[in-house]
Every structure is written in C-alpha cells, then in structure tokens.
Chain A
Amino acid sequence: MTKAWIEDFKRAIFIAEKDVKIYFLKGPNLIFGLLLPVSLFLSFSIGRAVDISFATPGLVAIAAFFGAGAIQAIALPLERRTGTFNLLLTAPISLFAIVLGKALAGFIYGVILSLAYTAIMIPFAPLPNLPLFLLGILFSSFTFSAFGLLLSAPFRDIPQAMPPATVVRIAMIFISGVFIPLAAMPTFLQVVAYAMPLTYSVDLLRQAMGGLVNVQMLLVDLAAQVLFSVVFLAITVQVLKKNIE
C-alpha cells in the first residue's frame, strides 16, 4: 500500500520535471512572469514616495503569484488541447498524482521567480529574518500554483483559460494588502481580503521583513496556506474528474 503510494508520488515528480522542462523554460513565459510584477509595481508607485521595505514583500509575493499561476493557465489547457493529457490519463497514476505533479511544476517556477526578486531587492531592503522569508516563499509558491491550477482546470484550451485567470489574479493583488495596507481598507474589503490566499502570503513575508514576529499570526498564515492548497488541489481533482465523465 505505502509502496504504491510512493510510486504514485514518484510519477508525480516525473510529471513536474517534464512540465518544468517543456513549458517553463520557454523564454517568453519566464520573461512575462518577471516583467509583470515590475510593471504593476511601477504603475502603482509612480508619483508616490515608496517605502522599499513595505513594497518588497508585496513584490516578491506577486512574483510567486504570477510565476506559479500564469504558467498553470498554459500548461494544463495546452495538454488537454493537444491530446497529451490522454497519455497521463491512460498511464497507471492516480488523478491526484497528476494534479500534484502539475502543482509542483508551478511551485518550482514560483520559487525561482520570487527568489530572483528577493535577490534584486536585498541590496535595497534589509532582510532580518531570511529563513522565515524563504519559508514564506515556499508556502506562497505552492498555494499560488494550486490556485492557478484550479483556475485553469475547467478549460480545454489556452484562449479560454487565460482571461479569467488574469482578471482574478490582478483583482486579488489590489485587495490583498500588496500595495495598500489592509488596515487602510474599508471593512468589507478587509473581510474579502481574508478569503484570499495572497493576503496570508504577503503578511508572512512582511513579518519576516519587519523583524517583529507575531507567532500567532504567523501560524495563521501558514495554516491558511496549507488549507488553501489542499482545498484547491481537491477541487481541481474533482473538476477534472467531472470533465472526463
């Protein structure tokens, strides 16, 4: 039993490895992932006095968010359109392992992009708690990857999958405390913000950045992201299952 489980997990890793190779190392995707957070940030901060240590966590979170997510809008729908998804479906792997493999691929891409941003920002903003910051990057990347997967699961091709994913992502950025602190937002938006995974990611990174750690909030941030990930993956499996019926 455990052996079957391990074998299933191994195959999920192979799927992730294949996805990283095929989709993720395609230049345009990488550049798009890198540029979008920068341009969003610039368009928002022009004409304002920007506090780098406030902006950095948000930027890194967005990098993870777009890095992990944007690619999911491409990888799964493309696989379904071209018929390669059938190769996965006819292979001896559980549907969950297929979904996990895809999620891991997005995770790797999210980690790479957010680390790249962290490296760029470090000279300008001190990072008192680097290990916690890295932990935040890992958690955020996985959650966003699972989220991106969920957004693309209902679609069989890229043109259908792209617009909703982009709209949802950009909307989320504006109400998750990336640019505007939550406290400065109206109450009802704060409530919405707490239903967004990005909010917990930004909070976690900001705590690592500020040096002052609120352990209780930290645990909430971690738990929320684990919960979001599990729920996103489970729904994705269900959506795909429905789709092959």
Chain B
Amino acid sequence: METAITVQGLTKRYPNVLAVDHISFEILKGEFFGFLGPNGAGKTTTINMLTGITKATEGKASILNHNLATEPVEAKEHIGVVPDTSNLYDEMTAWGNIIFCAKLHGVPKERREKRAKELLETVNLYDRRSDRVGTFSRGMKKRLMIAAALVHEPEILFMDEPTTGLDVQSAREIRGLIRELNRMGTTVFLTTHYLEEADVCCQRVAIIANGKIIAMDTPEKLKLGTQAQQAIEVSFDPAVNLDNLRGLSHVKDVVVAGDKFRLYVDDSSEALPFIFDFAKQNQLKIVSISTLKPTLEDAFVKLTGLRPELMTIEKEQMKPNEVKAND
C-alpha cells in the first residue's frame, strides 16, 4: 500500500510550550486514522502543521510524497480540511462559500455548480443554499465545512474534532458521512477526544498526550496491549459476602460495583462455569450476569495515566448497547 501522509520527528515549539514533540507516523492510502488525546495534547497543532496553517519548528511532513515545506501548493492540492473552528464566510451564502472553495481549488467552471449542488444535497443543506452562513447553527456550519472541504474531491481529508460540541443527532450524521467517505476510498485523519468515536470509526489510533505519541495501533490491539483483564459482573439473590467470591477458581480479584460484584478474570469463558457452580452450591439465584471486555478507555487510562473524565466521555453520543467496564 502507498503512504498518504508521512511524518518524521515533527515538532512545534511555542515560546512557552512544546506543543508537539517529535512525533512520527505513516498513514496509508485509504486508512481511517485517529488522533486521540485530551484538550491541549497537541492535536490541532499537528493538523495545522499538516495542512499549511502553521509551520513546523522541526521535522518533516509530506502529503503523497510532496514535502509541505518545499512543495506546499502541490501537497495542498490533495487535501481537504475541516478545522475545529469555522473557516467559512458568514457574510456569504452556503452556495457562495462552496463555489468560492471550488474556485480556490481550481475546479473547472463547468464542474463547480454540479459539484456544489451534489455536496449541498449530501449534507442536507441544499434547501438553505441561499441563506447566509452567519445564520446557520453549529451543526449546519460543520456540515457545510465538510461539503466545502470535499469540493475538489480530495484524496485525504483532515478533520479536527468534527463532532465536538454537536448534538447527538448531528454528531451521528457527521460520523456516518465520514465513514461513508472512507469506504469510498478517502484517507481520513481525524482528531477526537471521544474514546468511543476513535474506537468505532478508526482503523488505527495514535494516543497523544503532552505533544507526544504514547501508543499507536488498531483499537483492538490497544485494548489487548493494556492487558486489562476481562471482567464479569454478576448479582445474586440473596446477596452474598464479598469474601465468598474471592476463593473462586480463575477469579483474580473482586470488587463491589453498585448492587453487583465485578470479578476480574483472565478469560471469562473459563471462569463462568465456576460462577454457575458457586450459585448452585449456595442455592443462590443469579439475578444478572454479563461479561465485560477491556475498552479503549482502559487502554487510554493505563497508557496516559490520565483520568478518563478528562476525555469528556459523551456516552449518549454513541451506540447505547456499548457497555463500559469502568465506572
């Protein structure tokens, strides 16, 4: 596979802070790559360096083999950018903005209008095409920014926290749109501080904290890599004493979790029969039982040492059937 983005030792030093600290990675064509980290980690600074908004202090970055420092115009031909704050003209209409972006990217005159219509329809804004962007809601603006970023059919799409601050419905729509683009072949570089978003959307995730990449892998491997144990949550009727559960075979630790017990195990399938036996022997009714797998959140907490609350987990944004292992 060819590489879409190559980054070597990329660094950004501001007078008082080392915002990005010698990061290196390669992203393949067609990949959906996530940059996950808390506020202030250096995500926006990294995107800004990769898209020409700011210059790197040190290191090298190239887009489809065009070095951003020496061939910025060639590199930028291939990218679409959705920054964290609006880059569109409030004074202009939705239509006017898209057409202007098309012109900036050299889309031929005869293609512009067709493309603008297509894109506005895709993001459900065609009916509002003649309205000034200043009157748009946050979610509408974000959708229009995505449409504007796609007007020249870029091979690589950069998105800086595209769902942050949006309502559940808008966030879901945007996530769906990005995944669809990726399915059609667009390489996606997405930053997020939503663990679940990284988990559900990205093929590969880099975890960034204090300007450094501390881990980079597929979400599944990151979870395994933490060696966070699996867990089983169970509640009995009548309630039992914690110590009775400690001695169970394959159970390494037990904690109380609300009205349930959480049993940490290496492998749920081995431990489950012993739990059923235990219930039978003690004539207990199992009120509920479920197995919990390590989540990206476990991996994140373990790798960064940060509290998961820092990541403003917005569970309601995500699929309701996802179960969390931590409180």
Contacts and interface: CB of A to CB of B under 8 A. Distances in A.
Contact of B73 (A18, A82, A94): A94
A245 B54 contact: yes
A124 B73 CA distance: 52
Interface in B103-147: 103-106
Contacts of A90: 51-53, 76, 79, 81, 83, 87
A89 interface: yes
B54 A244 contact: yes
B104 A83 contact: no
A83 B76 contact: no
Interface residues of B, number: 29
Contact of B85 (A14, A21, A83, A91): A83
B104 A91 contact: yes
A2 interface: no
A86 B53 contact: yes
A88 interface: yes
B117 to A, nearest CB: 20
Contacts, number: 70
A90 B89 CA distance: 15
Nearest to B148: A87
Contact of A86 (B55, B73, B87): B87
A92 B72 CA distance: 7
B90 interface: yes
Interface of B is mostly: loop
Interface string B76-103: 1101010101111111100010001101
A84 interface: yes
Contact of B101 (A4, A86, A87, A245): A87
A82 to B, nearest CB: 7
B181 to A, nearest CB: 18
A189 to B, nearest CB: 41
Task: Please classify how large the interface on chain A is, using the bins under 10, 10 to 19, 20 to 34, 35 or more.
Answer: 20 to 34
Interface in B54-69: 54-55
Interface in A34-82: 82
Given A18-B100, A93-B73, A84 B105 contact: no
A14 B88 CA distance: 15
Contact of B77 (A14, A87, A92): A92
A245 B69 CA distance: 12
A1 interface: no
Contacts of B55: 244-245
A11 B83 contact: no
B74 interface: yes
Interface of B: 51-55, 72-74, 76-77, 79, 81, 83, 85-92, 96, 100-101, 103-106, 148
27 contacts: A7-B106, A8-B73, A10-B106, A11-B103, A11-B106, A14-B100, A14-B103, A18-B92, A18-B100, A21-B92, A82-B90, A83-B83, A83-B87, A84-B86, A84-B87, A84-B89, A87-B88, A87-B104, A88-B104, A90-B76, A90-B87, A91-B76, A91-B101, A92-B106, A93-B104, A94-B72, A245-B54
The 7 closest A-B pairs by CB, nearest first: A92-B76, A87-B87, A14-B103, A91-B104, A90-B81, A92-B77, A86-B87
Interface of A: 4, 7-8, 10-11, 14-15, 18, 21-22, 82-84, 86-94, 244-245
